Amino acid sequence: MSINPIEESIVAGAEYSNPTKPSVQEGLSSYWRRNTSTVESVELANLLGALRKITGYLGDNVGTVAYAGLAGGNDSTIIIDPDTVMGHYPVPAAQFDQVAGIAIHEALHQVVWTEHMWRCLKQDDLRMADLPRLHRLVETAEDIYIENTIRGNLGLYLAAARARHLRVSFSGRPSVDALMKLWWAITWNKNCKIADEVYTKSLVVLKELTEHLKDVAWDGGGVTQRC
């Protein structure tokens, strides 16, 4: 049975291979996204359709994809900032790959029932001053978890999006926010250097948590069991 280019590029576990002829544009999506245009309105519509096609492979409950300001107020809608794709038409494949990674990431939050996880989280015994730190920790852990639920070439789009956010700069005194950014960075880049030793002990614990998150993500259980 034949398979179209987009299906071939994102089937979980499939090995990605270069086409016979090199593409003019560099980027994974250049091998299948043929419906492009030099006209802004047409290209933005084409891009939206391509994003909806990709997220559709994750399931029926991911909602639709829409540009900010045109979402219609649906909580399940994946919002894309049009500024991330505007300026050059057709949108370069590498740029589209990054936006696709963002859309996939947001879609995964719906696939794994992030809202259900927050309802299960016990916060009653915590002081109000501790809640922001807890929320930051849980948000980062959830981001690491959902991106580990994906295997195969969809993960390449996630990696393209992460490449924009893996730089961690430190200024001022140590903070939970800086620690979470560093945790995220070293999860995907083992060569990431720890600029401040004050984070070392905490990162040892967080690295252990990362391995647990991977185990849960890869065990194949249902969403409710994972929670």
Confidence bin at 4 (pLDDT 50/70/90):
very low
Distance CA 203, CA 207 (A): 6
3-state DSSP assignment of residue 16: coil
Number of alpha carbons in the 13 Å side-chain half-sphere of residue 221: 11
pLDDT score, position 141: 93
Distance CA 10, CA 4 (A): 10
Confidence bin at 152 (pLDDT 50/70/90):
confident
Model confidence over 79-121: pLDDT tens digits? 999 999 999 999 999 999 999 999 999 999 888 777 666 677 6
The sign of the torsion formed by the CA atoms of 62, 68, 71, 73 equals positive
Model confidence over 7-66: pLDDT tens digits? 333 333 333 332 333 333 478 999 999 999 999 999 999 999 999 999 999 988 888 999
Return the domain boundaries, the chain: 5-111, 125-148+166-226
The sign of the torsion formed by the CA atoms of 98, 103, 106, 108 equals negative
Q: Which of 1-15, 22-36, 162-176, 210-224 has the lowest mean pLDDT?
A: 1-15
Q: Residue 196 pLDDT > 60, yes or no?
A: yes
Q: Residue 225 pLDDT > 90, yes or no?
A: no
Q: Which of 13-22, 181-190, 207-216 has the lowest mean pLDDT?
A: 13-22
DSSP assigned state of 62:
S
Q: Which of 15-19, 75-79, 176-180, 202-206 has the lowest mean pLDDT?
A: 15-19
pLDDT score, position 194: 76
Q: Which residues contact 133 (CB under 8 A, 6 or more apart)?
A: 176
Q: Which long-range contacts (CB under 8 A, 24 or more apart) does 72-78 make?
A: 76/110, 78/51, 78/103, 78/106, 78/107
Is the overall model pTM greater than 0.85, yes or no?
no
CA dihedral 155, 160, 165, 167 (to 10 degrees): 110
Distance CA 194, CA 191 (A): 9
Q: Are 78 and 66 in contact (CB under 8 A)?
A: yes
The sign of the torsion formed by the CA atoms of 155, 210, 134, 172 equals negative
Cis before residue 92, ω within 30 degrees of 0? no
